Amino acid sequence: MAVIASIALLVAEHRSQQLDFLRATLSFFIDPIKYLVDLPTVMVEQASESISSYATLKKDNERLREDQLIHQTQLLKFEALEKENIRLRALLENSFKLGEQVLIAELLSVNMAPYEHIVVVNKGTRFGVHSQQPVLDANGVVGQVFRALPLSSEIMLITDPNHAIPVQVNRNGLLTIAVGSGQINRLILPFLPSNADIRPGDLLITSGLGGTFPQGYPVAVVDEFTSELNKPFANITATPKAKLDRNRELMIVWSNSTPVPLISKPPVTEPASKATPHE
């Protein structure tokens, strides 16, 4: 009987989303275990923080202040560029997508399954997280929310073998898809012909096609390009920009998908700039 029940559950969940409620309920019992396992890491971190010396803290503080200053000046220019971009797009009669809100989530150091690249963070549907949201870190795209539970959510990294992300070569706008390889520092671009205009060192950014990832975030850098004579597709690998195995803080993004209207209606652009611009 248990066998029949489990098979029924398997089929039911594979087909539809209706069991999400059951999973959410059970996760109330399970999530404390995840937090419990995470506890030693948090404690070690706090301990190392509390015994770090005044000098280190001061140095850190200074460095961060400098960084902040540099970023601020860059942002000054960014605002002007953004407005200019909107104007240019208006000339092309094109709408412009911007305005993204982020939520900082912290990684729980648990290990779900060794051969899958899925990590758990400490923010869930309580914070409005839903599945298929893009996740970033300070350097680039990390992955997307795979499953949101009430108190935690599972994030599939871009290097998972079952993950694919639509990308664009920053240099020339060439569109393709980057597929995870199963190794934490490697992506594969399997769908480019041998004569494609791509070379090592090219930056890949999200193309915005597919609708999950907002356009323009750095994803990876091409590090190898080899083509074999009698094969139609080239072997291309890339290294993700995001520090997938080192970061503890991730950003979950809400992209504000209402396009900003053309220049002729300036007041309407206000709500977009209210959302924290993040780039």
Among 17, 22, 60, 88, contact with another protein (rule: CB under 8 A):
22
Say how many residues touch another protein, by CB under 8 A: 40
44 binds another protein (CB under 8 A): no
* DSSP secondary structure string for all residues of the chain: -HHHHHHHHHHHHHH-STTHHHHHHHHHHHHHHHHHHHHHHHHHHHHHHHHS-HHHHHHHHHHHHHHHHHHHHHHHHHHHHHHHHHHHHHHTT--B---EEEEEEEEE---S-TTS-EEEES--GGGT--TT-EEE-SSSEEEEEEEE-SS-EEEEETTSTT-EEEEEETTT--EEEEEE-SSTT-EE-TT-BTT-S--TTPEEEE--TTSSSPTT-EEEEEEEEE--TT-SB-EEEEEESS-TTT-SEEEEEEE--SPB--TT-GGGGHHHHHS----
> Could you tell me the smallest distance in angstroms from the CB atom of residue 46 to another protein?
16
Tell me the window of 95-103, 141-149, 194-202, 250-258 that interacts with another protein (CB under 8 A). 141-149
What six digits make up the tokens of 228? 């074999």
146 binds another protein (CB under 8 A): yes
Residue 146 burial (CB count, 10 A):
20
23 binds another protein (CB under 8 A): yes
Separation of alpha carbons 42 and 222, rounded Å: 35
Q: Which is nearer to another protein, 149 or 236 (CB)?
A: 149
14 binds another protein (CB under 8 A): yes
8 binds another protein (CB under 8 A): yes
x/- map, 158-187, another protein, by CB under 8 A: ---xx-------------------x-x---
Q: Which is nearer to another protein, 8 or 70 (CB)?
A: 8
154 binds another protein (CB under 8 A): yes
> Could you tell me the smallest distance in angstroms from the CB atom of residue 195 to another protein?
28
- To which residue do tokens 């890949």 refer? 204
2 binds another protein (CB under 8 A): yes
Separation of alpha carbons 253 and 278, rounded Å: 10
Q: Which is nearer to another protein, 31 or 82 (CB)?
A: 31
Task: List 164's β-bridge partners, or say none.
Answer: 179
Tell me the window of 18-26, 51-59, 133-141, 189-197 that interacts with another protein (CB under 8 A). 18-26
What six digits make up the tokens of 250? 């991730």
115 binds another protein (CB under 8 A): yes
Tell me the window of 29-37, 98-106, 208-216, 252-260 that interacts with another protein (CB under 8 A). 29-37
> Could you tell me the smallest distance in angstroms from the CB atom of residue 99 to another protein?
31
72 binds another protein (CB under 8 A): no
Residue 25 burial (CB count, 10 A):
11
237 binds another protein (CB under 8 A): no
Site residues, another protein (CB under 8 A): 2-3, 5-10, 12-14, 19, 22-23, 26-27, 29-30, 33-34, 36-38, 41, 109-115, 118, 146-147, 149, 154, 161-162, 182, 184
